[in-house]
Structure formats: C-alpha cells, structure tokens
Amino acid sequence: MIDLWIIWVIIAILVLNTLSALITVFHRPRNIVTTWAWILVLMLLPVVGFLIYAFFGRGIAQEKIFNISNQEHIGLHQLKKMELDAKSKKQNGSRTDETYYARHVIRFFDKTEDTPLTRHNEIELYYDGKEKFKRLFEDVRNATETIHVEYYALIKSNIGQEFLDLLTEKAKEGLEVRILYDPWGSGGTNKKWFKPFVDAGGQVLPFITSKNVIYKTRLNYHLHRKLVILDGITGWIGGFNVGDQYVGESKKFGYWRDTHIRVKGTATLLMQERFFQDWNASIDHDIKPLVFLEKYFPADKSNTNANLPIQIVSDGPDSRQEILKDGFIDMIVNAKKSVWIQTPYLIPDDPMFTALTIASRSGVDVRIMVPCMPDHPFIYRATQYYSNLLTQFGIKIYSYEKGFLHAKTSIIDEKICSVGSMNHDFRSYSLNFEANAFIYDSKIAHKVKRSFEKDMEDSILITQEVIDNQGVWMHFKQRFSRLLSPIL
C-alpha cells in the first residue's frame, strides 16, 4: 500500500503545477485559443510542459521588440518623392480599376504599416525552383554594387553551396554583399561554412531573434521572409528558400511546387527598406548600421515605364496587430466572386475561419489547395482537420498530389493576387516575420489563376467520401493535432 505521505506529495505537486500553469499562461495577454492550448500542455505534462513553454511559449524579448519595431524608415521618403513626381508629370499615375476596387485594403496597409502603393513596376512569375534559381543567379552575376539576401532557410546543400560560392565571387569583385538568415531554418550553416564568404569581404548575420536563444530560452520567433535585392533595382520575393528540396532534389518531397516573383521597379525600394530594418535590428555594436545612400535607393534606375501597382507588406510579432492576416480578412469578406488560396499549412484562427466560411456561404467561390504530404506531422494532421471541416461549409479543398505544395498565393476576384512567405496558420499570423507582395492587376491575377488551374489537374478534390475513408484513427490524430494547433 502506498504511503499516505507519497499521495500528499503527488497531490501537492499537481496543485502547484496547476497554479503555476495558470499564472504562467495568464501573466500576459494572448489569444484565448493559444491560452487554452498551453494550459493543456502544462497540465498534462507536469514539469516537462514548463521546459517546453520556456523555449516555445514565452513572448519575444522586450529588447528585441524595441530593436525591430523602432527601426527608422530608410528610403521611404525617396519612394514617396518618386511617386509624387510621377503623378505630377502624369506618368503612369492614373487610377486603375483594380486599385479602385482594392482601395480599402490598400489604405489599410498604408496606414497600418506605412506601406505605400507603388505603381511603377514590372514582374516575372516563377513556379519551378530550377527556373527560379537560374534566373536569380543570372541577376546576381549581373549585379554591380550591392546584393542583399534575406532567407529563412539558407541550407548547406548543393544549391546552397552554389549560391554562397556565387555571392563570395561577387564579394571578391568588390560588391557590398550581405546575408541575413534564420539559423533554425538554415540546416548545416555555421561560421566555418560562411568563412570563405566573410574572408572575401561579405557580411553575414543571424536574425536578431536567433541570437543567444539558449541563454534567453526563446525559440519560437523566426525570420520567415525570402528576399533578395540587387543594386536597389531588382527584387525577389516569394516562397522559395535555398536548399536542394526547393529544386526538386529530395526523395522525401519529390517535385517542389512553389511561387516566387521577380520585381523590377519602385516596389523594390520597399523590399530594400525591409532588409535595412531587419539588418540594423540584428547588428552587433561593432557593425555600423546601414544608412540612406543613393546607391541603395537609386531613383533614376528604379523607376520604370511599366504601370503595375504593388504593395510590399511585412509583418511580425514586433507589431501588436496581425497586419497581413487582417488584410487578408478584409479582402476575403469583401470578395464578390472568388477567393483562391494556396498554402502548405491550413490552420486558420477563428477570425480567418469565420471570414472564409462567410465568403463561401455568401456565394463566393472559395478554393484552397494544400499539399498531400507532411513536412511537419502535427501541422499536417491539423491541416487535414481544417480541410475536412471547411469542406462542410462548401469550400473546395484540393490536395496537391504531384509533390509538395509550398506556394503561398491568393487570388481575389481575379483582380488582386498575393505572393509571399505567409502561410495560413497561427505561426505565420502572429509568430513569424513575414513579407508578401500584393499585386493589383487583373492580368497578373489571371496568370496566377491559370497556374492554380494547372495545379488542379495534379490534385484531388476533398469530398465527403474521401473524408470518410480516412478512418477513425486518422480522425483522432487530426482532432488531437488541432488541439495543439495554436502552439505548433
């Protein structure tokens, strides 16, 4: 028979664990769904749950919020001056049907994030990794002054080594070459790997949230943006990271389906400014911050005769507002005809779930495409749960079967499209640092729509029969994963 004192010790531990869990979770404001998910973890996993929380549950350090959110806008005045000059000359400054249609969300992004609409751009769309990197490497070879690289995953791999070698050669030529990366997404990277690049004159930094993470025990905030800016003229933004899987050279994933865009024009200046802010927030005291120089924001070279309206919008946990998510909700609830989305992770929070279902119940054609395989098991099962649930509301969910779908694209009413790094899950909404391009042009929207339709040929539509055939055990795993989805 167990001694009475052991029972009392166990009860005391459980009571103390419960009180500690409540104090820990409620000590700062957070999403109520996330709150309950953490309570579940802390109470079901005594002691161990607190170790998990220490690394993945705590808010971003206040000194890091200060460093990121208080960075000055560098180059924004140059961009606004260029746009005003163009309007005064009536050079491609007229209002288009698409910008009038999207005026509400354009104004929202500008007032919330100080992200003005840029009108003088041209873009190229890339859906295949090999084609994307071939064109990107060509741009890097042709760069003459500055190359700025910002990636979540810059992986030590065949394509990663080729990219780093190319950047090293450009540094040897005397160009200013800078790399900003997230170590948690960049497998295999270390000082030794970067040493030839640094010896050649290049500069490399981990993003501020990845510095001293073991000491500060915060692993939950990642640089998820994918940006390359060359000479302040040409910019790249989208979903592709740098690694062999992104060019289809992974047995696990097979063909990698993603979307990236190449921008030439004034929108590139917003991408350059985003890089400057992220870089300056991440530097150590012995590195001088980047400041405004004409060579970084070349007004005479960045302007173009093209008339493509684009906003580059970034977001992250340094902001109290979920800017990108709120912008998408705005577009979804105001859609008149169609909302088509591609995302590798489909774990919408309550406001996004409500927006999607309201649109569907209002007669809007809502279609969402997700991958047929996981790269993160729990997240994939949660994605399956929400795919099944949204199907009940008349939303068409497609499972991409050709390989792994990693594209983050949206098409609204065939007038607006978005390409960037934001997934539709809790992490992208509130934990990751993201960047998306919003393009207000029906021709580009139609191109992205055609790529969606082509992907539908390699997909299956999730029906009630498909859901029923998943089995009881699979449904249990989906429901359990859904409980943890706010903290995945």
Backbone angles phi, psi at 484, to 5 degrees: -95, -5
Per residue, the 3-state secondary structure of the chain, as one string, reads CCCHHHHHHHHHHHHHHHHHHHHHHHCCCCCHHHHHHHHHHHHHCCCHHHHHHHHHCCCCCHHHHHHHHCCCCCCHHHHHHHHHHHHHCCCCCCCCHHHHHCHHHHHHHHHHHCCCCECCEEEEEEEEHHHHHHHHHHHHHHCCCEEEEEECCECCCHHHHHHHHHHHHHHHCCCEEEEEECCCCCCCCCHHHHHHHHHCCCEEEECHHHCCHHHHCCCCCCECCEEEEECCCEEEEECCCECHHHHCCCCCCCEEEEEEEEEEECHHHHHHHHHHHHHHHHCCCCCCCCCCCCCCCCHHHHCCCCCCCEEEEEECCCCCCCHHHHHHHHHHHCCCCEEEEECCCECCCHHHHHHHHHHHHCCCEEEEEEECCCCCHHHHHHHHHHHHHHHCCCCEEEEECCEEECCCEEEECCCEEEEECCCECHHHHHHCEEEEEEEECHHHHHHHHHHHHHHHCCEEECCHHHHHCCCHHHHHHHHHHHHHHHHC
Contact 415, 335 (CB under 8 A): no
- Radius of gyration for the chain, computed over Cα atoms and rounded to the nearest angstrom: 23
Is residue 139 a contact partner of residue 230, using CB atoms and an 8 Å limit? Answer: yes
Total residue count of the chain as it appears in this document: 488
Tokens linked to 452: 């969606």
Longest dimension (CA), the chain: 91
Which positions are catalytic? 224, 226, 231, 406, 408, 413
